[in-house]
């Protein structure tokens, strides 16, 4: 598939890398010669220097033959103009990154008038991810499928805990919860386990199920934490604004510490019912004065990775029950786990995965379409949600009779508003949403999960 990415920044470069690795013909447009040189040397993509809002540049990049364009420059207005030009030049699928909250209130209007297929917002997606984590603080991370009908949560196996030396087939009888361990990360390796797999201390588990069942599971483990009632946020950027609004809708109190006085005044207007404090949250006395030791959760959301990491470590030392850290460099998330900072979010990765999911859905077989894509185990494994059509090869066949390829697992079947943890007798039906777990990059369509001889 021919794909044009306008803007070689954080989102654009990661999307280009992921899509090029999947074999797509990717062209990146950027007006900065240094960005063009960097991407040309690092990735197997075509690079075009110029303005993405210029129709001549789009023609040079091959817009007339492109099937997808992602407008991901730093400016919303340029992205909208680029998307409009691309549609006029014949690109059928146009995705625009739009970050300004004022524009996002007009999402449907923008899509209709400019012909945009999808609008993505890294800060909004980041806020949604953090909100899910804070609403279920027992988990390291929470990934939702089918609008929350089913979730996959990550948890560590502690020393001498109830999960130590337990075979997975013993879980239902021991804990009485309808959940499924779909990934185990051990020693840097991601394993899609079978029922006889034995858990060890230090393992990181990805567990799927409905939210009430996952709560029952964590309670039985003795790892359930009471719901968060108050969150302290470091940094008053767009992520903080989106997150505060989401948390307030769920009855969670929020206080924000922002060092820039002018931004504090803006926040007071944007969030009139929220405590806004002007101060440097990298200073311990500021955090103590704002009540760090009394808060249920701390979210480090500035634009500086180092500040976020160091302050999160300090919050951990102060025994804050739940800590979430935003980083812009994805490779840092792997390093932070060793320091005990497990809940790490990377905005650019969330949006890049949305694009990959959208592109895969375009190339899906008649029998299925991809709805959601999440990366697990530091990107080594993917959880993919497919909407099942009548032409899918798996329809109507009990799972025990399906010839799934090695290291592929059906972790859930969502039927209507009910999430089913499948067993050998479960048969996927048309209209279901099937969530499959596989090694990263292995599945693009639902039919690809099955051996050819089925």
Q: How high is the mean pLDDT in each 10-residue block of the chain (454 residues)?
A: 94 92 93 95 95 94 94 93 93 91 80 87 92 90 84 89 91 89 92 93 92 91 89 96 94 96 95 94 95 96 94 95 89 67 85 83 65 86 90 91 92 90 93 93 86 66
Enclosing H/E stretch for 439: strand 433-439
Q: What share of the chain is helix, strand, coil (3-state, %, to 5)?
A: 35, 25, 35
Whole-number pLDDT of residue 221? 87
Is residue 409 within 8 Å of 357, Cβ to Cβ? Answer: no
Burial class (CB in 10 A: 0-12, 13-18, 19+), 197: middle
Domains and CATH numbers, the chain: 2-120 (3.40.50.720), 131-221 (3.30.70.1450), 229-320 (3.40.50.720), 350-449 (3.30.70.1450)
| Cα–Cα distances in angstroms (integers) from residue 317 to residues 130, 183, 320, 339, in the given order | 21, 30, 8, 11
Cα 219 to Cα 179: distance, rounded to the nearest angstrom? 13
Closest by CA position to 420, among listed 146, 66, 86, 82: 146
Neighbours of 209 (CB within 10 A): 24
Tell me phi and psi for residue 373, to 5 degrees: -140, 125
Q: In the prediction, which pLDDT does 440 show?
A: 86
Q: How many helices (H) and strands (E) are present in the chain, helices listed first?
A: 15, 22
Query: How far, CA to CA in Å, does 39 sit from each of 45, 143, 151?
Result: 8, 31, 36
In this prediction, residue 318 carries a pLDDT of 95
Q: What is the pLDDT of residue 363?
A: 65
Q: What is the dihedral of CA 321, 327, 332, 335, to 10 degrees?
A: 0
pLDDT at 372: 85
Instruction: Report the chain's C-alpha Rg in angstroms.
Output: 23
395 to each of 371, 399, 402, 406, how far by Cα in Å?
Answer: 18, 10, 10, 19
pLDDT given at position 356: 82
Whether the Cβ atoms of residue 360 and residue 373 lie closer than 8 Å to each other: yes
- What is the structure's pLDDT at 434? 94
Residue-level pLDDT at 364 = 57
């Amino acid at each position: 598939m021919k794909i044009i990415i306008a803007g070689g920044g954080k989102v654009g470069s990661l999307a280009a890398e992921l899509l090029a690795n999947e074999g797509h013909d990717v062209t990146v447009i950027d007006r900065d010669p240094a960005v063009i040189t960097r991407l040309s040397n690092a990735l197997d993509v075509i690079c075009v220097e110029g303005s993405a809002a210029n129709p001549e540049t789009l023609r040079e990049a091959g817009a007339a033959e492109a099937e997808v364009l992602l407008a991901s420059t730093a400016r919303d207005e340029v992205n909208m103009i680029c998307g409009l030009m691309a549609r006029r030049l014949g690109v059928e699928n146009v995705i625009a990154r739009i970050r300004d909250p004022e524009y996002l209130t007009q999402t449907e209007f923008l899509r209709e008038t400019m012909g945009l297929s999808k609008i993505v917002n890294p800060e909004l997606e980041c806020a949604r991810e953090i909100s899910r984590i804070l609403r279920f603080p027992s988990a390291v991370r929470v990934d939702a499928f089918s609008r929350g009908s089913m979730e996959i949560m990550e948890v560590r196996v502690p020393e001498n805990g109830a999960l130590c030396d337990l075979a997975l087939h013993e879980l239902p009888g021991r804990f009485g919860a309808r959940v499924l361990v779909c990934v185990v990360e051990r020693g840097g390796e991601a394993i899609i386990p079978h029922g006889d797999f034995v858990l060890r201390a230090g393992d990181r588990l990805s567990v799927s199920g409905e939210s009430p069942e996952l709560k029952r599971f964590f309670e039985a483990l003795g790892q359930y934490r009471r719901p968060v009632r108050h969150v302290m946020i470091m940094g008053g950027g767009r992520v903080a604004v989106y997150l505060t609004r989401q948390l307030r809708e769920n009855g969670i109190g929020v206080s924000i510490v922002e060092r820039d006085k002018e931004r504090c005044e803006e926040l007071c207007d944007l969030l009139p019912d929220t405590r806004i404090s002007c101060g440097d949250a990298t200073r311990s006395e500021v955090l103590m004065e704002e009540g760090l030791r009394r808060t249920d959760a701390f979210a480090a959301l500035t634009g500086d990775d180092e500040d976020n990491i160091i302050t999160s470590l300090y919050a951990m030392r102060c025994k804050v029950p739940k800590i979430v850290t935003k980083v812009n460099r994805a490779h840092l998330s792997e390093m932070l786990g060793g320091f005990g900072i497990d809940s790490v979010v990377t905005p650019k990765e969330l949006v890049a995965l949305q694009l990959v999911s959208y592109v895969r859905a375009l190339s899906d077989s008649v029998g299925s379409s991809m709805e959601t894509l999440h990366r697990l185990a530091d990107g080594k494994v993917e959880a993919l949600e497919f909407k099942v059509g009548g032409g899918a090869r798996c329809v109507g066949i009990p799972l025990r009779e399906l010839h799934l390829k090695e290291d592929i697992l059906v972790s859930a079947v969502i039927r209507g508003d009910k999430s089913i943890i499948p067993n050998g007798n479960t048969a996927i039906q048309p209209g279901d949403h099937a969530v499959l777990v596989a090694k990263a990059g292995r599945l693009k369509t639902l039919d690809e999960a099955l051996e050819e001889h089925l």
